[in-house]
């Protein structure tokens, strides 16, 4: 597995001790304990040794591309759980919970836990909304289940975890497979050395504690749902297998599919082929000493992917031959995205992005989006709105969202949670953000819908921040030069004049900006006289604007929290934004109301951010129809 190890990880590793969660605190491991831990660990392909990461929990982990297209054994369903706020189960001189011990009948051995007698909870799913007693719980949480497996000679096994918020440790049959930090990206732990024929124990420890040097940091404006919030499965692959690939349309002519395929543990000269059967396209080659083969094939006559024609082609990738052959199928669209001056060009033509921001909050029941019905409901409202674009805020969403966007023709802004004031001066925080960018890009590189990688939201303008995020932008450009880099910036000025001149704009392809005239400053009608001064000849997207309303609360246009106030605010905003010549898109805040611990006005907010165009119970507010009219009449933003 050729997993990129950020330079920041290696540099920071030289100056930091390894840390290990122990009895509710964090203590440095001595050399002997570190060696013992590593000797018990399964092989996580491509990861640096645990001792060389800035902290134990951020060692780069494997991300299998298009894993949702492989045959897998789902581990979704009921898991036993143990609440562990003091992290006692990680070990206190006696055996930890990871061993999943069962005391034999008649034995007098002291074991102070029993998964088999513990309650169950659903996976995927946050624990907060499944049990009323867990609604406000943050901390350590143990999951356990057994799975029957057959021996598979010549195969490798990975445990796939779609997301675990925020830190996770994974064991199989008492063997540590991997650790991971970051609550919104997928990872795959190699279990080949741990798996056995017959009954296997899988134990996962998830800790949702917010930490100052985390990404995100301690405070956000969304609910900290903890747990295994996305699919968990077992994946079986040959000993040598396709672990990464990139296929995209060239920008220059839009008539060549180019890219690469990487085969993990392949001998030099391993045969690789790529086919698009419907288009009658074929390419083949052999791997070099690094397991990589370049791909290029003429592709005239393709139906280019766009919101109007979201054409997906069946793609078949093969590596090796005979019993050791690996086949990976995918569904992909082919298009180009680029900028020219202040224009955004999709397939060489200027486009305006009519969109809306979305949190990964499940409609009606709240909690994290984790099934196809959640996705269908959210995107159903997006299509009804007349939008062709979404901002998936403020973190990578479930892969179901980007797969559905591909099928529905919805363009996507995808973001990592470098949110507000993370600790920009710390190298290990940069390493964490870079790891999340790597995992996000690797998972969604095959999605035509994703056109924008966002590196941050509403960050303070200071030298440490600008240096940190400029490095992030450079990294993303290196990892994926086929897409555009953006960030949601703050603006400065008074109600009369607003300035977009943040120095980070130099590093971005498209500049996003958030503003809340009529809500956090001034009155809605003040927007009528606001002028905008733009320092860059680049495309602009207003990544947030809006205001709150309680669904069903009515009054006059000047009465805050009413649907009328919110609708009026949108009318004034649309008029103002249309006076910005280089405005190429918009994602008002936000599609649906969502839980937030910082929104506690009784009778109005009640623990929800009420800026949604739709309530959490699916009630469309008046502002929904104001924005719908603007989009359907193409009355907001300019393609050129």
What single string gives the DSSP state of each residue in 184-251?
SS-EEEE-TTT--SEEEEEEEEEE----TTSSS-S--SS----EE-S-EEEEEEESSEEEEEEEEE-T
**Mean pLDDT computed over 198-204:** 98
Contact, 75 vs 232, CB < 8 A? Answer: yes
Contact, 487 vs 437, CB < 8 A? Answer: no
Chain segment 206-220, per-residue pLDDT in tens: 999 999 999 999 999
Contact, 396 vs 414, CB < 8 A? Answer: yes
pLDDT surpasses 70 at 29: no
Instruction: Pull the structure tokens for residue 542.
Output: 């207003």
Q: C-alpha angle with apex 569: 565 to 575, nearest 5 degrees?
A: 150
Q: How confident is the model at residue 5 (pLDDT cuts 50, 70, 90)?
A: very low
Within 13 Å, how many C-alpha atoms sit on residue 2's CB side? 15
pLDDT surpasses 70 at 262: yes
CA dist 183 and 164 (Å) reads: 5
Please give the domain boundaries of the chain with CATH numbers for all domains.
Answer: 19-102+113-238 (2.60.120.260), 265-335 (2.60.40.10), 350-632 (3.20.20.80)
Q: Output the pLDDT for position 85.
A: 96
Q: Output the pLDDT for position 622.
A: 98
Which segments within 575-636 are labelled E, that is strand?
Answer: 583-586, 594-595, 608-609
pLDDT surpasses 50 at 417: yes
Q: Output the pLDDT for position 95.
A: 64
Q: How confident is the model at residue 275 (pLDDT cuts 50, 70, 90)?
A: very high
**Mean pLDDT computed over 76-94:** 89
Instruction: Pull the structure tokens for residue 555.
Output: 């009054």
pTM: 0.90
Chain segment 290-323, per-residue pLDDT in tens: 999 999 999 999 999 999 999 999 999 999 999 8
pLDDT surpasses 70 at 32: no
Contact, 222 vs 229, CB < 8 A? Answer: no
Percent of the chain having pLDDT more than 90? 87
pLDDT surpasses 70 at 35: no
| Residue 41 main-chain phi, psi, to 5 deg | -80, 145
Q: Output the pLDDT for position 1.
A: 37
Chain segment 92-144, per-residue pLDDT in tens: 645 699 999 988 888 998 889 999 999 999 999 999 999 999 999 999 999 99
Give the contacts of 186 (CB within 8 A, at least 6 positions apart). 63, 67, 160, 161, 162, 163, 230, 399, 439, 443
Q: Output the pLDDT for position 151.
A: 82
Contact, 191 vs 156, CB < 8 A? Answer: no
CA dist 501 and 499 (Å) reads: 6
Q: Output the pLDDT for position 55.
A: 30
Q: How confident is the model at residue 60 (pLDDT cuts 50, 70, 90)?
A: low
Contact, 267 vs 202, CB < 8 A? Answer: no
Q: How confident is the model at residue 78 (pLDDT cuts 50, 70, 90)?
A: very high
Q: How confident is the model at residue 26 (pLDDT cuts 50, 70, 90)?
A: very low
The 3-state DSSP composition of the chain as helix, strand, coil percent (nearest 5) reads 20, 30, 45
**Mean pLDDT computed over 434-456:** 97
CA dist 528 and 544 (Å) reads: 18
pLDDT surpasses 60 at 8: no
Share the mean pLDDT of the chain: 90
Torsion (CA) 127, 128, 134, 136 in degrees, nearest 10: 140
Cα dist from 294 to 214, 252, 302, 333, 447, whole Å: 37, 18, 21, 19, 20
Q: How confident is the model at residue 152 (pLDDT cuts 50, 70, 90)?
A: confident
pLDDT surpasses 70 at 18: no
Q: Output the pLDDT for position 31.
A: 28
Chain segment 524-539, per-residue pLDDT in tens: 999 999 999 999 999 9
Q: Which residues pair with 414 in a beta bridge?
A: 392, 453
| Residue 469 main-chain phi, psi, to 5 deg | -80, -25
């Amino acid at each position: 597995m050729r997993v990129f190890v950020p330079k920041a990880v290696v540099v920071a590793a030289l100056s930091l001790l390894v840390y290990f969660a122990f009895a509710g605190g964090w203590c440095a491991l001595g050399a002997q304990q570190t060696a013992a831990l590593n000797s018990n660990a399964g092989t996580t392909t491509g990861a640096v040794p645990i001792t060389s990461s800035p902290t134990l929990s951020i060692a780069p982990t494997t991300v299998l591309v298009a894993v949702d297209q492989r045959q897998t054994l789902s581990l979704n369903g009921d898991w036993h759980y143990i609440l562990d706020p003091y992290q006692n189960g990680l070990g206190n001189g006696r055996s930890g919970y990871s061993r999943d011990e069962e005391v034999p009948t008649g034995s007098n051995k002291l074991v102070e836990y029993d998964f088999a007698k513990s309650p169950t909870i659903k996976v995927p799913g946050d624990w907060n909304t499944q049990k009323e007693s867990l609604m406000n719980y943050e901390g350590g949480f143990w999951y356990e289940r057994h799975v029957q497996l057959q021996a598979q000679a010549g195969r490798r096994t990975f445990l796939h975890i779609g997301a675990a918020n925020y830190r996770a440790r994974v064991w199989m049959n008492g063997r540590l497979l991997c650790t991971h930090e970051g609550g919104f990206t997928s990872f795959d732990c190699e279990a080949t050395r741990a798996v056995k024929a017959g009954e296997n124990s899988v134990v996962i420890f998830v800790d949702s504690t917010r930490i100052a040097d985390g990404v995100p940091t301690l405070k956000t404006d969304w609910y900290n749902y903890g747990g295994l919030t996305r699919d968990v499965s077992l994946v079986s692959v040959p000993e040598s297998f396709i672990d990464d690939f990139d296929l995209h349309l060239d920008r220059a002519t839009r008539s060549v599919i180019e890219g690469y395929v990487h085969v993990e543990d392949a001998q030099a000269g391993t045969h690789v082929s790529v086919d698009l059967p419907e288009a009658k396209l074929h390419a083949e080659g052999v791997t070099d000493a690094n397991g990589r083969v370049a791909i290029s094939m003429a592709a005239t006559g393709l139906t280019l992917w766009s919101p109007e024609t979201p054409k997906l082609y069946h793609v078949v990738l093969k590596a090796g031959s005979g019993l050791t052959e690996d086949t990976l199928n995918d569904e992909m669209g082919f298009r180009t995205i680029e900028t020219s001056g202040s224009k955004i060009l999709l397939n060489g033509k200027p486009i305006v992005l009519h969109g809306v921001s979305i949190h990964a909050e499940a409609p009606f029941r709240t909690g994290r989006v984790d099934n196809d019905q959640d996705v269908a409901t959210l995107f159903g409202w997006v299509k009804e709105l007349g939008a062709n674009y979404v901002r998936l805020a403020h973190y990578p969403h479930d892969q179901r969202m980007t797969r559905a966007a591909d099928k529905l023709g919805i363009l996507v802004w995808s973001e990592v949670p470098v949110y507000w004031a993370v600790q920009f001066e710390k190298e290990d925080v940069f390493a964490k953000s870079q790891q999340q960018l790597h995992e996000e890009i690797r998972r969604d590189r095959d999605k035509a819908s994703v056109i924008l990688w966002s590196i941050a939201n509403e960050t303070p303008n200071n030298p440490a921040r600008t240096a940190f995020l400029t490095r992030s932008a450079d990294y993303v450009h290196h990892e994926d030069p086929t897409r555009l880099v953006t960030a949601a910036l703050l603006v400065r000025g008074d109600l009369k004049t607003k300035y977009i001149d943040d120095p980070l704009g130099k590093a971005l392809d498209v500049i996003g900006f958030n503003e809340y005239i009529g809500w956090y400053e001034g009155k809605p009608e003040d927007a009528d006289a606001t002028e905008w001064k733009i320092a860059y000849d680049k495309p602009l997207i207003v990544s947030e604007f809006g205001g709150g309303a309680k669904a069903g609360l009515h009054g006059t246009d000047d009465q805050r929290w009413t649907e009328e106030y919110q609708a009026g605010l949108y009318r004034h905003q649309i008029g103002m934004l249309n006076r910005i010549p280089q405005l190429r898109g918009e994602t008002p805040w936000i599609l649906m109301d969502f839980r937030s611990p910082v929104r506690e006005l009784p009778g109005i907010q009640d623990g929800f951010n009420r800026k949604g165009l739709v309530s959490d119970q699916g009630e469309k507010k008046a502002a929904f129809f104001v924005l719908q009219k603007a989009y359907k009449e193409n009355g907001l933003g300019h393609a050129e």
